[in-house]
Amino acid sequence: MSKKLIEMKIVRKLILLLQRGLSERQIAQQLRISRPSVNRFKERLAASGKNLEELSAIEDTILSSIVQPKTEKTLVEDERTDFITAHKDYYIAELRRTGVTRMLLWQEYSRDKPVGYGYSKFCELLAELQLPQRASYHMKPYEPAAMMMVDFAGDKISYIDKTTGELVECPVFVSVLPYSGYSYAVALPNERTPSVLKALNASLAYFGGAPQSLKCDNMRTAVIKGSKYEPLFTEVFEQWALHNSIALFAARPRKPKDKAPVEKEVLLTYQRLYAPIRDREFFSLEQINAAFEEQLKIHHQLHFQKKTISRLEQFLELEKEYLQPLPISSFVICHKVECKVKMNYHIVLSEDEHQYSVPYKYIGKMVAVNYDIDHVEVFYNMERIAFHKRSYKKAGYTSLIEHMPENHRRFAEQSGWDADYFLREALKIGINTQQYIEKVLQSRPVIQQAFDGCKGILRLVSRYSAQRLEAACKRALPGSRCGYITIENILKNNLDKPGIEEPEPFRIPKHDNTRGPDEYQ
């Protein structure tokens, strides 16, 4: 109970005891206050001009003003407070303007009220005046499977492009079921509509069902025109929702509290997905998303604070059974365009400015290209002539070696030669072949000088067989010389076959007229 209420209770008891005729000493003993305090209250009550019966019937606020009249100091204090209260709306509106601070407002206030409050008291009163505007509304609990909320994380994640060493930044899409807190996060190549729809499909697949509704912010891929009452969604987003039997809702513009659960989940994504993998290097989107899935499992198995249940348990036990079954096939946007095959036997997808190869014999032909978020297919006369995984690298190339002319193919193969390439190819034939190739590579002062010889040795498989080449390499390994000619001679003379011995080198026969090595000591 506040001090003011306690004092009113004491004052009313004092009036009652005065009506009973008790002395000041007796009243002080019963109320456990000092005798001068009893005398002071008694004098103030008498000065009001009202009798005791009238005083006992009036309200606490009036009685308080009688027994605790405002002093001059209190009146000045009230006047200062009333001035700031009267200008409350002005101060709060000004604080929202760019660059306006409390210090600036206090300086302006001091010019108007030279005997006003100091800076600390001014800030304290402003904070108290703002508190009613910051009141939070306690939302009703969400129902199981009633809604899914989605949003993009503000901070992106990145991977290293192996071909260029470039750091590629990727947006991260986050979805959550507010009832259980069960969530999903995926890194995307971009924030365009096909990527967003792919992320939504992945979210539904991860949850194993569809909620009754979806709420997002006013992202441009989903909402044409934001509105407090009737937001207008894009046609493709409406089609996706219809395909999955989901109702669409958009949060009010600039009102993040409308989708507080996903805002909270974005924060948890930073803490429980980004942070644990912050020191790891990634070289593709697939690697990032594989790491995300590992961390999501850990996140979902952690108990809520002050609860003995995890998100996974709450989802499996209380929410999953209420999700709607998913359609047989996911909603996918498929595009079709016609392209002319360029002289470099590639077609260009202008959407990404990326080129994809087709067999060189179709140079100059008009082909049909079907592509979606993941794949690119090229058709000529209703026959598929090329199939590629879609790439979003601007001005990049996706080429298959089998699409090249023979001279381009040889050049491309040679451009990709290195020691590891030849060792990998040799190991496919056998361990002896790999050891022999390694010996050839080490025998040259410049390793690139050995590449042609290694290629020639490996190509002997087409003229003989992998088994014979392996046997030939095994026979040649102990020798001091190594190279393509050595292996070719072994195979040409069938020295790799069991039972055939290599002829002994010519030796000069012994004779009395010949001098041996001892004569030259």
Per-residue model confidence (pLDDT) at position 141 = 75
The secondary structure of 371-415 as a DSSP string is: E-SSEEEEEETTEEEEEEE----TT-EE--GGGS-HHHHHHHHHH
CATH (residue range 148-322)? 3.30.420.10
Residue entry with tokens 């979805």: 175
Cα angle: 442, vertex 448, 454; to 5 degrees: 70
Per-residue pLDDT tens over the stretch 408-419 = 776 656 555 677
| CA-CA-CA-CA torsion sign (310, 314, 316, 317) | positive
Residue-level pLDDT at 204: 94
If we measure between CA atoms, which residue out of 492, 456, 499 comes closest to residue 472? 492
Greatest mean pLDDT range, 23-32, 169-178, 256-265: 169-178
CATH 1.10.1790 fits 3-67, yes or no: no
Mean pLDDT of 118-137: 71
Residue 4's pLDDT is what?
A: 45
CA distances (Å), 391 to each of 63, 285, 332, 409, 477, in order?
81, 11, 17, 22, 45
pLDDT, mean of residues 261-290: 90
Residues 315-326 pLDDT 10s: 999 999 999 999
DSSP annotation of 97 reads S
3-class secondary structure, 365 = coil
Rounded Cα distance, 249 and 59, in Å = 52
Confidence band for 127, pLDDT divided at 50, 70 and 90: confident
Burial of 385 (0-12, 13-18, 19+ CB in 10 A): middle
What tokens does 211 get?
Answer: 């909620």
Percent of the chain with pLDDT over 70: 86
pLDDT tens digits for range 372-395: 888 899 999 889 999 998 888 887
At residue 213, the pLDDT reads 92
Q: Identify the band that residue 79 occupies on the pLDDT scale cut at 50, 70 and 90.
A: low
pLDDT for residue 84: 76
Average pLDDT for the chain: 82
* 205: pLDDT strictly greater than 90: yes
- pTM for the predicted model, two decimal places: 0.53
Q: Is the pLDDT confidence value at 474 over 70?
A: yes
Helix and strand numbers (H, E) in the chain are: 20, 16
Cα–Cα distances (Å) from 27 to 6, 115, 184, in that order, read 16, 43, 71
Give the pLDDT band of residue 208 (cuts 50, 70, 90): very high
> What angle (nearest 5°) sits at the alpha carbon of residue 209, between those of residues 373 and 217?
65
Task: Please give the average per-residue pLDDT across 434-440, as a whole number.
Answer: 90
422 and 433 Cβ atoms separated by less than 8 Å: no
